[in-house]
Structure 1
Amino acid sequence: MELDLAALNVETHKALSLVLLGAEGEVTDRGVIATEDIPPHTVIASIPLNSTISAQGLLDNVDEFSALSTFANTSSRITDDDLIAIAIILSRKDTGAGCDNAYLQRFNGFCMNFPSTFDSTIFLSPGSLPHNLLKGTNLLHSTMMLQNQIAQDHAILLKLLQDFAMVHSDMRGFFPTTSETFPLEDYVHGLFSVYSRACDLSMSISGRTAGRVRLLCPFLDMLNHSSSSKVFYEFDSGAVKIKTGDREIKKGSEVTLNYGPLTNAKLLLFYGFSLENNDYDDAELYVPLNPDLPLYKEKLGLLKKLDAMYDSTNSFRIKKGEDIPNTLLALLRLMPLTSLENVNAEEVITSENEFGVLNALESALQSMSQIISGNLLVVGDDRKKEEDTGMIAEYEKVRIYVESELEILSTALGVVRSGIAKLHSAESGLEECD
């Protein structure tokens, strides 16, 4: 279905054209192309706020959409993403009360224009080339966690809808209330329409600060990602304005947005693509602080003093081109201690302790690297036999991610081994002096 921007009062620059992208005979995406040069600091699109979909916008339309407003106010467990996802699901329905709602009908063309499927790793089939390539990686762990969380949220949301229908009999026909009318697949599609297409915008409305608002914004969601893009958007005079920034857009070039400093893992999980030479890439390392350790509370206090954002359940991120995180080194130094007297975990405590720290890191990094290397070899052989072009494309996206993570782990491993060598050298020098 072709999106009718005029019906949503969306104004776009005359030099913009929506086109299909990809090699000849193979459409891989769609994007916006400049049909002539566009100067810097030019407004290239204006989207009225009432033509965007947001949780607040849905709730503000009480007269037209009282069912959703009433439902949202009955439970604090309904998130903004859930509200928007439900609106998307209802607006895409061919029959039922939802599609007859005047407010939702406005967005029917917009929502029907969303992809029927998404390229996120959450949709990979177990046993497929890209899924096998992800085995043992943190991305597969994150993917499975998100799958489980979405399934749990769907079950909770379905129960809330059923309870609501029982209490509010006058609105019973508005929402789907069975697993047949509200299947998990619909919920996942609604959520990923939000995850992959929404923007978060700071705005003030009617003189009051609304803070960060999540919006689904017609036309803005058509712009693909580029790390070098200077195009930006902002809330201005009651509309979302897309502007060219301080750089001219040349005729024939694609108009893009910078989605932000995202790792390939996040790009694959939420957007379905990865980037070669992504400067924001990192490798995750899970080292939890066990509550059963001696002096657990004291050690936790020292780590929070070193890093106020430290959470004992979160992973550490080893970023491309950066040193091993100080908090990770401090944690490993503190773990085996039974006394914290005069301890400064930011510095080497003893040579013996530091050997333990670096050896533990070496073992963890080597283990992760071996898993990834093994996957690349085994699955790489299967890739040579694969004939499905779609599957090969998915494999290549994942390959970029795993090879980038392997590079980061290998670099960190080199740093750790260099530290071990220096310790050995220092120890040998002391022995010679003795």
Structure 2
Amino acid sequence: MELQKWLINGGAEGLSCLQLEDFPDTGRGVKTLRPLKSQEVVLTIPESFLWTADVATNDPVIGTVIRSVEPPLSVDDILAVFLLFIKSCKTGYDGRRAHVELLPTSYTASIFFSDEEIEICSGSSLYHLTQKLKQQIRDDYIQLLNNLFSKHPDLFPLEGFTQDAYIWALCTIWSRGMDFQLPDGQFRCIAPFADMLNHSLDVEICHTYDPQLKRLQILAGKNYTTGEQVFINYGLVPNNRLLRLYGFILLDNPHDSYDLVLTTHHQAPLYSQKVALLESIGLQVNSIFPLKLNDPLPLNVLQYLRIQRLTSSEISTVAARNGAKVRISSRNEAEILKALRESCEDLLSGFGISLEKLEEKVAYQRGSNAWAAAHVSIGEQKILKTTLQKVKELLALVICANCGKADENNKRCGRCRKVVYCGVDCQKSHYSEHKVLCKASE
């Protein structure tokens, strides 16, 4: 109630029809006290009540100190310091302290998993990113301790600015922050009360920020009846990111992905020319490509690899200059597909628990950390297996099914059209092995 009074007195609109509520499935959320129509403005919060880096660096008490830190603090660190400062205050900042009192005291993000729990998804991108994140948090905290907290103990008493407190503040920012792409860059904020809204894929993306009017608005992402929980949509977020930042997953998440990292060494042949070709199609030499079940092998992955493996005789071809959207040569195509096949097989073998064993074990208690880690691993392995199958299908149309020769004159099997041969002799020699598949394709 104190938070609502503070927001209403400051010009926030819409709070009279909304109420905080504890829901059995999602925990604390927001319900509507009246019917809402899709796209109706539900909540408006003026910029002055948002938690932003600008608000923190202009704070009359700690703003100058934060601005003086070298090297400059990241947006997340500025917000974390500001949040912990407000939490440690005994007087003043009444509205912000009321907001802090409503925040969870603990979180379920993957950095809090035990070693046994996180090992369930070993080999996944979540596993590797969580390990890196833990180390980064430790390093960042030591830097904050040395450059800020220890120099100003009157403002940042160490008992309230421990590493555990810092981790809590970061998780608050990651799980409750809203990001908007504005003309002058990305804008990150935490909006009091609006940050209590839970995520659902069943509603449209419905949170907006107007830099001219300096206000954040929540719209109704669908029609609601009185008493329903009001949701927002975080966007196209895969489970590995949901669990790492928000502490939950969605079963059968349609936005699950595996991030494939591709890079080219600076000493590779024709490096500068290849970089120029990559940049001409909007790709960087170090690129990350999300693989998804409905798009397990995006065209830009093939484009990148075709360019990466170009020879001096291929680099000036029309196909290469046009962004390698089509096959450059049989040699080039066979090389990149074999490399992809090997990479997928290596990645799958790197998972601590195979897909088949995990699917047998999804007897982990529903909602537990182990259960969530298992589903992240299952999702990523399914994607990689689908990618591997797609790569094998494409490779079968490049190299002779019998001898493995990659040649521009290879011809498809006239019946199934799923394999190629370099000549009649190879086709006849391979028929006894191929006939079952070939006849099944009829």
The question of 1:349 aligning with 2:347 is answered no
What SS is found at the alignment partner of 2:165? helix
Offset at residue 46 of structure 1 (A): 2.9
Q: 2:190 aligns with which of 191, 196, 216?
A: 216
Q: Conserved in 2, the CA contact under 8 Å of 1:120 and 1:272?
A: yes
Alignment partners' CA distance in 2, 1:84 and 1:330: 40
Q: 1:399 aligns with which of 341, 358, 374?
A: 374
The question of 1:432 aligning with 2:424 is answered yes
Partner of 1:413: 388
Alignment partners' CA distance in 1, 2:316 and 2:213: 59
> Which sections of structure 2, spanning at least 5 residues, go unmatched?
402-409, 412-419, 427-442
Q: 1:332 aligns with which of 305, 313, 328?
A: 305
Letter in 2 for 1:110: H
Q: How does 1:25-44 map to 2 (within 5 A)?
A: 29-44=27-42
Q: How does 1:22-421 map to 2 (within 5 A)?
A: 22=24, 29-62=27-60, 65=61, 67-93=62-88, 99-100=89-90, 102-103=92-93, 105-128=94-117, 131-161=118-148, 164-165=151-152, 173-176=154-157, 182-201=161-180, 212-230=186-204, 231-235=206-210, 237=213, 239-244=215-220, 247-306=222-281, 308-312=282-286, 314-322=287-295, 324-337=297-310, 339-340=312-313, 341-343=315-317, 344-345=319-320, 346=324, 347-372=326-351, 374-378=353-357, 384=363, 389=365, 393-421=368-396
Offset at residue 259 of structure 1 (A): 0.9
Alignment partners' CA distance in 2, 1:42 and 1:196: 25
What SS is found at the alignment partner of 1:4? helix
Q: Conserved in 2, the CA contact under 8 Å of 1:132 and 1:375?
A: no
TM-score normalised by length of structure 2: 0.79
Q: Conserved in 1, the CA contact under 8 Å of 2:358 and 2:374?
A: no
CA RMSD of aligned residues (A): 3.0
The question of 1:16 aligning with 2:18 is answered yes
Offset at residue 222 of structure 1 (A): 0.6
The change in CA–CA distance for 1:284 and 1:40 in structure 2 (over 3 A counts) is closer
Partner of 1:168: none
What SS is found at the alignment partner of 2:31? strand
Alignment partners' CA distance in 2, 1:413 and 1:298: 30
The change in CA–CA distance for 1:157 and 1:342 in structure 2 (over 3 A counts) is same
Does 1 or 2 have the higher relative contact order (CA < 8 Å, sep 6+)? 1
Q: Conserved in 2, the CA contact under 8 Å of 1:36 and 1:250?
A: yes
Letter in 2 for 1:222: M
Offset at residue 289 of structure 1 (A): 1.0
Offset at residue 393 of structure 1 (A): 2.3
Letter in 1 for 2:92: A
The change in CA–CA distance for 1:332 and 1:46 in structure 2 (over 3 A counts) is closer
Alignment partners' CA distance in 1, 2:386 and 2:226: 41
TM-score normalised by length of structure 1: 0.81
> Which sections of structure 1, spanning at least 5 residues, go unmatched?
94-98, 166-171, 204-208
The change in CA–CA distance for 1:145 and 1:411 in structure 2 (over 3 A counts) is same
